[in-house]
Amino acid sequence: MKRSKPPTPRPRRAKGAKRATGRRPGIIFNALPTHRDIQVQLTQRGEPVMIFPGRTVLFDDMKSYLARLSRPFWHPGSEGQTLRNFDWIVNMLADPDHYDQALRFLDRNFAANPLPIFNRPAEVLKTRRDLVTHHLSGIDSLICPTCLRFSPTSPQCFRETFEKGEFAYPVLIRPAGSHTGHDLLKIDTAENWDKIHQIPWGGRTLYMTQWIDFRSDKGEWRKLRLSITSESVRLRHILYGDSWLIHSAHRDTDIVNRELDILLNADDWAALQTLGQNIRSRLKLDFFGVDIGWKSDSAFVLFEANPSMSILSYHNMPTLRREDYTANLQRIEQDVWRALERVTKIKRTGKIGK
């Protein structure tokens, strides 16, 4: 019997080699947080999943599409990992407080091996709370509160930081890396410093920020979130509150209609568009968010500006007039797709949904 020849093994593509299209793959750059602070949650099926803080939030179809055209790179990773022989990098790290070391590693390697990078690490590093206020200071109509970063070793350190920054009461105290109201303190007077014992601050890095009254002339508290890409400035949402600490909450019909009347016409809001473009000229990121207090069209108060905000998310979207909120978010989604395509030079094929 004639013996058949064994099949010739297909050569394996070398790591970083060009694909059949003639293009080389990209890199999705990730990292473990500097302090290894990763949370674990259970899914509805009871399966554990890891939650990494301070990442750029993309829709699942975006991540899946990029994953098919790239390789993962995890810092610090292994000796075999390299940033060479790739065409582009999508940097998923969005918070300097959590990923300072990894962002600096990527920045050093970018200098030696320049590649197109979505959200360059040097620009992400600028978004640290105490730094971004300096980078954005001097922009017309934008009030940038003083902010200092400090690591207290005793209660006296809080007063010393207050004096060093030449603050006035009230001030805000929050942990570094926090973007919610969790462990956020407002110190209204010199007699309020005992409040610091309400939060765990030993061995932690904190921020002290000058509190600014951002009520409108009608006494309303209003918070805006901008979505800024390399090509557009969009209004993501408006939140109204009965106090200075505003979070996403239930919106009644009147609030929804007020918000959407502005939201759907934000492209024609000259003051907001000018503000967003001026911020983009200082922070040369491909996609990021900006939270600001809306005092008036000539006075906005900076809260934070970074790529870690939940912009591409349907969580907490009102059910009232949901189709209008969805249409606004889909416009932002297309902006982000275009920003990704501009960096990767990869054009989508077929219909891409949310």
Strand partners, 293: 223, 301
Specify if 9 maps to a domain: no
Residues 97 and 155 in one domain: no
Six-digit token pair at 338? 């275009």
Residues 258 and 289 in one domain: yes
Give the residue carrying structure tokens 């922070």. Answer: 283
Contacts of 310 (CB under 8 A, 6+ apart): 57
Residues 167 and 256 in one domain: no
Residues 246 and 277 in one domain: yes
Residues 30 and 100 in one domain: yes
Residue after which a domain boundary falls, among 101, 119, 137? 119
Specify if 96 maps to a domain: yes
Domain span at 156: 146-210
Specify if 163 maps to a domain: yes
Residue after which a domain boundary falls, among 154, 178, 210? 210
Q: Specify the CATH number for the domain of residue 231.
A: 3.30.470
**CA 143/CA 140 separation, integer angstroms:** 8
Residues 338 and 228 in one domain: yes
Specify if 57 maps to a domain: yes
Give the global pTM.
0.90
Q: Each residue's pLDDT tens digit in the chain (354 positions)?
A: 444 444 443 333 334 434 435 578 999 999 999 988 888 999 889 999 999 999 999 999 999 999 999 999 999 877 777 777 899 999 999 999 999 999 999 999 887 778 999 999 999 999 999 999 999 999 999 999 999 999 999 999 999 999 999 999 999 999 999 988 889 999 999 999 999 999 999 999 999 999 999 999 999 999 999 999 998 999 999 999 999 999 877 789 999 999 999 999 999 999 999 999 999 999 999 999 999 999 999 999 999 999 999 999 999 899 999 999 999 999 999 999 999 999 999 888 654 444
Specify if 109 maps to a domain: yes
Residue after which a domain boundary falls, among 119, 137, 159? 119
**CA 121/CA 91 separation, integer angstroms:** 7
Residues 200 and 228 in one domain: no
Phi, psi of 141 (to 5 degrees): 75, 0
Overall number of domains in the chain: 3
Specify if 351 maps to a domain: no
Q: How far is CA 93 from the centre of its chain?
A: 9
Residues 232 and 203 in one domain: no
Residues 205 and 234 in one domain: no
Q: Specify the CATH number for the domain of residue 191.
A: 3.30.1490.20
Specify if 233 maps to a domain: yes
Residues 339 and 225 in one domain: yes
Q: How many CB atoms lie within 10 A of CB 319?
A: 8
**pLDDT tens digit string along 208-256?**
999 999 999 999 999 999 999 998 999 999 999 999 999 877 789 999 9
Contact call for residues 329 and 353 (beta carbons, < 8 A): no
Residues 202 and 230 in one domain: no
Among the listed residues 55, 54, 61, 85, the one whose alpha carbon sits nearest the alpha carbon of residue 71: 85
Q: How far is CA 120 from the centre of its chain?
A: 13
How is residue 351 annotated by DSSP? -
Residues 337 and 229 in one domain: yes
- CA 270, 260, 136, 112 torsion-angle sign: negative
Specify if 11 maps to a domain: no
Exposed (0-12), middle (13-18) or buried (19+): which is 182, by Cβ within 10 Å? exposed
